[in-house]
Amino acid sequence: MYVNTTSTRVRYAETDQMSVVYNGIYPQYFEIGRVEALRELGMTYRQMEEEGIMLPVLEMHIKFIRPALYDNMIYIKTFLKQLPDTRIKFDHEIYNEEGQLLTTGWVQLVFVNKETRKPMRAPEQFIKRLKPLVSSSNGQS
């Protein structure tokens, strides 16, 4: 299983009048997590788009355990438990500075050829890079 941890600081803009981070901000935190995971694996999302690959989101799940608060440093853990094929699934956990688990969730995306607009397999190089890090392509999550 591959794991990446990155962090960001909660913006005032991200809070709502319940004085916690608004629920609709977490997809952005998940985005930050998977973008940094991909970068560490040698594949920036930006580069992918330039090479004609899009990666739209198919499905997303978020579970809210504790609220993230203004000015908190939060730690976004991103897990890849399975090798991608045409689809890729990122699992996420978000923690605060005290190590408390705030949120869990997952996001499934699909590799799409920008021209044909059809699903395509994940780039070969990316799978090669990921293979030794993910124990089995039949892993369940």
Distance CA 10, CA 7 (A): 10
Q: Residue 97 Cβ, how far from a copy of itself at the closest point, in Å?
A: 13
Binding footprint of a copy of itself on the chain (CB under 8 A): 11-13, 15-20, 22-28, 31-32, 35, 44-46, 49, 54, 56-64, 67, 70-71, 107
DSSP-assigned letter for residue 91:
E
Rank residues 50 and 136 by Cβ distance to a copy of itself and give the closer one.
Answer: 50
Rank residues 21 and 130 by Cβ distance to a copy of itself and give the closer one.
Answer: 21
DSSP-assigned letter for residue 69:
-
Q: Residue 131 Cβ, how far from a copy of itself at the closest point, in Å?
A: 25
Distance CA 110, CA 43 (A): 15
Q: How many CB atoms lie within 10 A of CB 49?
A: 12
